[in-house]
Amino acid sequence: MRLMPYGPRARSLLLVLLALPALSAAPALAAAPAPSAAHRHTATQISRFLTSFYGEHGPTPYDREYRVSQVLKDKQEAAPEADVLLCSQNRPLGVGIGPVTVAQSAGVGWATVTTRWAADATDTFTAYVRLDSLPIRLDDVICAG
């Protein structure tokens, strides 16, 4: 027993009509913004950024103005006697960036920064970058001691 003997044209029309709700939802899905995970920095990108940011002797005036978070600008304003980006009062003889750790769930990446001083003295601090910052910028610095 055949319930609905449709011809080829009627079957095609029926399939199109059944697909309409799915097709009408498709543009809304396509227009949805990409998830923020698509804009998350990798450990390699953070390492390159920190290496560029700190250079050999510390950040440039441009870096200090345009490549740091407002949190760090406020910290620097509150402590004018110190350089909060280098955890010091002077310019180092050299700067090295350690391996970067990325915590996706926390949305942050960080690395130990080592500064070299006269008489082979060194100091370390931790530099933090938010994974979703666009453009990438230094979010915070925590001094070691």
Q: Write the pLDDT tens digit of every residue in 15-66.
A: 444 444 444 444 443 433 333 556 899 999 999 999 999 999 999 999 999 9
Chain mean position to CA 42 = 7
Q: Check if the beta carbon of residue 76 is closer than 8 Å to that of residue 85.
A: yes
pTM for the structure as a whole: 0.73
Q: Check if the beta carbon of residue 113 is closer than 8 Å to that of residue 126.
A: yes
* Nearest CA among 142, 133, 115, 145 for reference residue 70: 133
Q: Check if the beta carbon of residue 6 is closer than 8 Å to that of residue 14.
A: yes
Distance CA 115, CA 93 (A): 7
Reported as a single tens digit per residue, the pLDDT across 80-116 is 999 999 999 999 999 999 999 999 999 999 999 999 9
